Amino acid sequence: MTEKRVSLHGMWSSRLVFILAATGSAVGLGNIWKFPYITGLNGGGAFVLVYLICIAIIGIPIMMAEVLLGRRGRRSPINTMMELAREAGSSPRWSWLGWVGVVAGILIMSYYSVIAGWAVAYVLDAADGAFVGFDGDSAGAHFGAMVSNPGTLAFWHAIFTILTVLVVARGVRSGLEQAVKVLMPALFLLLALLMGYAVNTGYFADGLHFLFDPDFSKLTPEGVLTALGHAFFTLSLGMGAIMVYGSYMPKKTSISKTIFTVAIMDTLVALMAGMVIFPIVFANGLQPASGPGLVFVSLPIAFGEMSGGLLFGTLFFVLVVFAAWTSAISLIEPAVAFLVENRGMRRTTAAVLIGAFCWVLGLVTVMSFSSWSFSFEFAGATKTDGMFDVLDILTSTFMLPLGGMAIAIFAGWIMQRADTVDELGVGEGAGYRVWYTLVRYVSPFAVGILILNSLHLLPT
Ligand code: TRP
């Protein structure tokens, strides 16, 4: 029956292409930049454990649900939700889920491309040999000088936004396929190589201990909430990005196998990044809890010191930019697909419009690290990067988990069970029942309880 619906925007040519595109979306700054710095802020091991549990019992089931909805609807998330709600005899107001996703994608894109801009700037610095002889202080000063210069940030933010718009304007398929095929293996390889360096710092064991030895006394309610939000962020869940990619997925492809592959690769990249960065942090007397600059301060020290550092440093930041690029594409694709479907806009016009809007909005983040910086308290933790933190909390901590919760409720309670069986295509065996139980009971309640608990809204 889903064969009746055909995507207006084309289809992935194979299962492999879907895996590549979804991995491209999932693996990005979230893994290499955000995971290490929030792990550092939240004390390590216990936080990592909560994050891994969230991936396994909330992230993966909801990711399957999101792809399932997308493939069944074959439209932009807004229209998909409207259509599927009608099919299930429910309210067309479910399309709000799509709207919230479009807004979340635009908000995330606005700051994501500022951070990606840092990585673009670091490509040139690395190639220039700027890192040679760096120690903790000079690396920190270099980073500090960059982020406190709004002009520089706005410029690199513009370059990255333009790169993203170029790909989205041509349709997500062309280019992406080749790019991800080469880049993902290259990224793995380089991380493996850097792990070799990390082992040689003599602090590898300290890094592993920090990452994998849970000390629950360091885990705060705010940390739990951050881990939950990050499970959504890193898998690109809860705002329709994976839904829109699912809408281009061929009917015969197995959703469960594909999603497991993507989630495992995403988690591996994050853990590898952590295993590279923390030994370097400890070896150079840096603070794990130093915030968003952690990766941009620790890695340059390593590149400045190792032999071949010029080459590896340049290559590494190039790969980070590419990883961010293939993620950013999926952040604005839902909005662009909507404008094309409902406003009859050309893809190019839609992409330029959304890109320009995100760039302007991104200036808020650009200023967050200099003149507009302010601190505030959230769920018992102090945040120091002003509007950047506000946007991050609003999107990762609330919009994505709540969006994911709504997706789980829709797949578990609103859609006909038979339709989910048909779409998942694994029969009604044990695998299906585990998934169904998780999306129906576990994921939505877990998200709700974790949010309420962290905000101290539950009686203790
Ligand atoms: N997952 C990406 C990362 O880890 C970021 C990202 C891309 C994203 N698309 C998304 C996050 C959609 C949330 C929703 O860098």
Rounded distance, CA 166 to CA 149, Å?
A: 26
Mean pLDDT of the chain: 93
Q: Of the ranges 198-212, 268-282, 332-346, which one carries the lowest mean pLDDT score?
A: 332-346
Residues ≥6 apart with Cβ < 8 Å to 70 = 77, 80, 240, 242, 243, 244, 245, 246, 247, 249
Rounded distance, CA 456 to CA 459, Å?
A: 8
pLDDT digits (tens, 9 = 90+) for 185-221: 888 899 999 999 999 999 999 999 999 999 999 999 9
**Chain centroid to CA 231: how far?**
8
Pocket test for ligand 1, best of 37, 110, 236, 400 (most atoms within 8 A of CB): 236
Q: How confident is the model at residue 335 (pLDDT cuts 50, 70, 90)?
A: very high
Q: How confident is the model at residue 12 (pLDDT cuts 50, 70, 90)?
A: confident
CATH code, residues 2-454: 1.20.1740
Q: Is the CB of 26 under 6 A from ligand 1?
A: yes
Q: Is the CB of 239 under 6 A from ligand 1?
A: yes
Pocket test for ligand 1, best of 330, 332, 336 (most atoms within 8 A of CB): 330
pLDDT digits (tens, 9 = 90+) for 373-399: 899 999 888 999 999 999 999 999 999
Which of 2-11, 115-124, 249-258 has the largest mean confidence?
Answer: 115-124
**Chain centroid to CA 434: how far?**
26
Range 394-421 average pLDDT: 96
DSSP string, 69-115: HHHHH-S-HHHHHHHHHHHTT--GGGHHHHHHHHHHHHHHHHHHHHH
Q: Of the ranges 38-42, 299-303, 424-428, which one carries the lowest mean pLDDT score?
A: 424-428
Q: Is the CB of 404 under 6 A from ligand 1?
A: no
Query: Above 70 in pLDDT, residue 47?
Result: yes
Q: Is the CB of 331 under 6 A from ligand 1?
A: yes
Say what the pTM is.
0.95
Distance 230 CA to ligand 1 centre (A): 9
Query: Above 90 in pLDDT, residue 73?
Result: yes
* Tokens matching residue 345: 């806009």
Tell me the domain boundaries of the chain: 2-454
